[in-house]
Structure 1
């Protein structure tokens, strides 16, 4: 006796979540096993299961990764980092504020992973010269990177996934470039203010490390191309923000211009792309389609609606479920799983899907409890010598704060 398709899809989903959680397999491998399993079980046609490598948001993120690479390779990101720490002087609180603000803004417009990575050696060097422990600076950096990602549609992969699912539904308009900032700006400002004024007290303290954070030495930068990269970057952001050029066209045109103008070599362009993100994105979007076409989304939606038919309570459940899972598995995968369910639940409750998908996007981005919750969290783990419990101790108040802010702001900005 064969299982109904919706249960088969849920079993595949459960296995994928287990593998993401335990990381018994590399994350991209788990993600690619999903369309394979969906094809073998007949839930999706192979052409459909693997079609998401051509998804418009996969194209956008690939292009933006390359443009980000040009900003780092030409030295512009390093200039911003050095200017920031020079402005802060010897004040560790001013340094924390400036680093969080600048890194958050950079993360909204560039790769938050790359932005964090370029700041790590710069900030550690300042910490060493000023006698401040890197433990006091690097975790706030990672948190600011996640908060900054909530400001734009390209700031973090979950935002792109939410837009992609809205687009695929053919019923709803995608969210605009800065529409995420309607909620994200409150998280960004209040989150940074909390860390600088109160949260720093929960950060671990330690001795100043005497070893270099970059033992391989400084990478040779192509600084003569800096202004070219800045012009390309500005063109892409303005094009996306105004809508004069489609997102995927603008991103890929900008990426190609960085190679044509010599900001990057072709090899450097390929190396700039986070292939883990691409495979996770493309693989798990097939899961999103599967749980929708098989009726699994309706099954989960009915379960949530049975818990409560009050939209506000369901909104809270979506945020909490997304945030909890994301602290232990890929935020890309979590957003891809929950976004179509959010739309289905909204339709069951006969309300707008936008507050639900926004809660899912924010819940998947604002995760501060573990070092594996986000790539920025992972990047600072080694250089600062943090432990797993350091993240939980410093992160749980910020996690709670983002939940409270979101539950207040989302229903106001995106009413049911």
Structure 2
């Protein structure tokens, strides 16, 4: 009796096991096997093996499950996805799939060599010749820099130079998207022993990135509630559309104004639809329109948008990424604030926007007699509805943000005024993010149950790539300092600073103005500013005497579409050609080099005192010491001064060339 029960149990177990195995076979049949150790993908079945008939309840099937008939088994096998329907030649980059001889249910997916050849072919199809050239130059200079030793006193300098050249070539030729290339310093510097991964990563998200993030959030709120649209249309209605020169001036000033509070790229994105819409729909009588005059007006309006955004971005610290790159440099982080930057840059931006209008009027608008119909503008304004609480709230938040920038250093950080030492640690990033928080707290009247902004909408519209791009520049700057490449480059370029500050300002402005025409203005700032900081440290020249002209000149990008994002956005409308940019841009670049350089020279001395001696806040521990050694600098007697470290340990060099033992003279 026990034997009979035991046999029945075993039969039941086998039946259940067979059914369970059949189910597993149907479920996992489509899965692909892994690559073999030989380097090629092994042959694989085209269809699942035939499964045993599923046992029914009468045969000891699984209780609680419906009985499976042979018809059910066939249906289950037909319902299972066939592997031959899953595997396609395109899935693996093969031209064809070949059956395995003697195994009709298997296919050969090719060797590893075949896969790599097809991978290379696909890569070439998505790469341009300019990108291939940039990649070749980048890796060639990378290898050359690694194979030479710049100076035995700076063993890591050649490694850092190799990384910089690779990144610069990839940026200039846009081999990869600019933010992606910006990750190279984080990936490469730890491997070459320049700095740890944690130290490199900290450069990618600091207070400057938080400053721009807070500003971006408020920008997004302005666009979300259509406040920018109302402002632009209202100004157009006030000035009218009957006089072409006034229309151009209107678009120029609106773009200029928006770019001061928003990023210049976001401002261009906001304004281009208005410009194209007005040009398309506001002509009073298209049949009588002179085509040449209309094109001249179209070119002037669109160039006014991109040039206005570039000029407006100069005026504020958050207006354009190169300004943020400067503020993120460790050497000048304590010296640059939103308020003193605006005091320095606002006159320069006003000068340049005035030059832009004069040039556009003379080249494109003078003699144009077109009358534009303002009805389309009025209709667009009426479609916005009445001024609502959401727009008012966002406007107040924007005013609070900018007001906080203006009073932060003189009021909030003023211990004598506030009596609170803790507030001395508040910087512009806190102000920007405080305003951004309000956008998520204040309820919306147009969208009940939501705030002015939702995080879902915000994360889709924040230009994260810009933040990463600025972080890449910060990582390069930190790598320059850590590897002591700053000292090496500074020694080689020190002689160039002997030409006098006015000549130096003109030289740097012109040089950067030309360089930024062929590469992104942010990439130009990321490469140029750390080098200039190194030069200033080597000769103990006030760093802002070199950095301010270069930073502002990064925004003097008028000749080519690739020079700056606003140019590229306008060029993307298809209404302009390269000749239009060159016609106006060459003249504007000359004016920027001459008049811009002169005003930069004057404002840098008035606001930042760049004619003074090398400041204490610019002295970094790895490269400089502040010593209690009296002397005369630029005709002024000082009790202490900066002393640049030299190769010999414990020694440093004063601005007059004297060598001191700083261990006994250090003022800190």
TM over 0.5: yes
Structure 1 partner of 2:534: 344
| Partner SS, residue 242 of structure 2 | coil
Residues 382, 351 of structure 1: alpha-carbon distance in 2 compared, 3 angstrom cutoff: same
Once residues 105 and 220 of structure 1 are traced to their aligned partners in structure 2, the CA distance between those partners, rounded to angstroms, is 21
Q: Deviations over 1:390-415 (max 9, x none)?
A: 32222111112112123212222223
Are 1:124 and 2:276 an aligned pair?
yes
Are 1:93 and 2:245 an aligned pair?
yes
Structure 2 partner of 1:251: 432
Once residues 160 and 172 of structure 1 are traced to their aligned partners in structure 2, the CA distance between those partners, rounded to angstroms, is 10
Structure 2 partner of 1:15: 166
1:96 Cα deviation after fit: 1.3
Q: Deviations over 1:198-250 (max 9, x none)?
A: 334445999xxxxxxxxxx9999995511111121111111111003531112
Residues 193, 2 of structure 1: alpha-carbon distance in 2 compared, 3 angstrom cutoff: closer
Identify the match of residue 327 of structure 2 among 149, 163, 182.
Answer: 163
1:147 Cα deviation after fit: 0.7
- 1:366-377 equivalences under 5 Å are 366-377=556-567
- Contact 1:369/1:395 (CA < 8 Å) preserved in 2? yes
Residues 320, 252 of structure 1: alpha-carbon distance in 2 compared, 3 angstrom cutoff: same
| Partner SS, residue 572 of structure 2 | helix
Are 1:71 and 2:222 an aligned pair?
yes
Once residues 223 and 339 of structure 1 are traced to their aligned partners in structure 2, the CA distance between those partners, rounded to angstroms, is 45
Question: More strand per residue: 1 or 2?
Answer: 2
- Contact 1:85/1:126 (CA < 8 Å) preserved in 2? no
1:10 Cα deviation after fit: 1.6
- 1:168-317 equivalences under 5 Å are 168-169=330-331, 173-202=334-363, 224-243=389-408, 244=412, 246-261=427-442, 262-312=451-501, 313-317=503-507
Higher relative contact order (CA 8 A, sep 6+): 1
Question: More helix per residue: 1 or 2?
Answer: 1
Structure 2 partner of 1:393: 583
396-405 or 1-10, which deviates more: 1-10
Larger radius of gyration, structure 1 or 2?
2
Q: Deviations over 1:105-155 (max 9, x none)?
A: 211111221212111111222223136443221112101111111111111
Residues 119, 326 of structure 1: alpha-carbon distance in 2 compared, 3 angstrom cutoff: same
Are 1:46 and 2:162 an aligned pair?
no
- Contact 1:204/1:390 (CA < 8 Å) preserved in 2? no
Once residues 275 and 223 of structure 1 are traced to their aligned partners in structure 2, the CA distance between those partners, rounded to angstroms, is 30
Structure 1 partner of 2:371: none
Once residues 195 and 310 of structure 1 are traced to their aligned partners in structure 2, the CA distance between those partners, rounded to angstroms, is 30
Once residues 308 and 162 of structure 1 are traced to their aligned partners in structure 2, the CA distance between those partners, rounded to angstroms, is 20
Once residues 402 and 333 of structure 2 are traced to their aligned partners in structure 1, the CA distance between those partners, rounded to angstroms, is 24
- Contact 2:325/2:473 (CA < 8 Å) preserved in 1? no
How many residue pairs align between the two structures?
405
| Partner SS, residue 365 of structure 1 | coil
- Contact 1:108/1:155 (CA < 8 Å) preserved in 2? yes
Once residues 409 and 164 of structure 1 are traced to their aligned partners in structure 2, the CA distance between those partners, rounded to angstroms, is 24
The root-mean-square deviation of aligned C-alpha atoms, in Å, is: 2.8
For structure 1, list consecutive stretches of 5 or more residues without a partner in the other structure. 207-216
Once residues 287 and 172 of structure 1 are traced to their aligned partners in structure 2, the CA distance between those partners, rounded to angstroms, is 16
Once residues 252 and 166 of structure 2 are traced to their aligned partners in structure 1, the CA distance between those partners, rounded to angstroms, is 37
374-383 or 308-317, which deviates more: 308-317
1:79 Cα deviation after fit: 0.8
Residues 328, 248 of structure 1: alpha-carbon distance in 2 compared, 3 angstrom cutoff: same
Once residues 191 and 298 of structure 1 are traced to their aligned partners in structure 2, the CA distance between those partners, rounded to angstroms, is 35
Residues 204, 288 of structure 1: alpha-carbon distance in 2 compared, 3 angstrom cutoff: farther
Normalised by the length of structure 1, the TM-score is: 0.89
| Partner SS, residue 137 of structure 1 | helix
- Contact 1:326/1:334 (CA < 8 Å) preserved in 2? yes
1:68 Cα deviation after fit: 0.1
Normalised by the length of structure 2, the TM-score is: 0.57
- Contact 1:135/1:384 (CA < 8 Å) preserved in 2? no
- Contact 2:168/2:527 (CA < 8 Å) preserved in 1? no
Q: Deviations over 1:321-370 (max 9, x none)?
A: 33223222222222232223323322333332222111121011221121
1:94 Cα deviation after fit: 0.7
For structure 2, list consecutive stretches of 5 or more residues without a partner in the other structure. 1-146, 150-154, 284-288, 369-379, 413-425, 443-450, 606-610, 612-668
1:54 Cα deviation after fit: 2.5
Are 1:32 and 2:183 an aligned pair?
yes
Structure 1 partner of 2:568: 378
Structure 2 partner of 1:211: none
236-245 or 307-316, which deviates more: 307-316
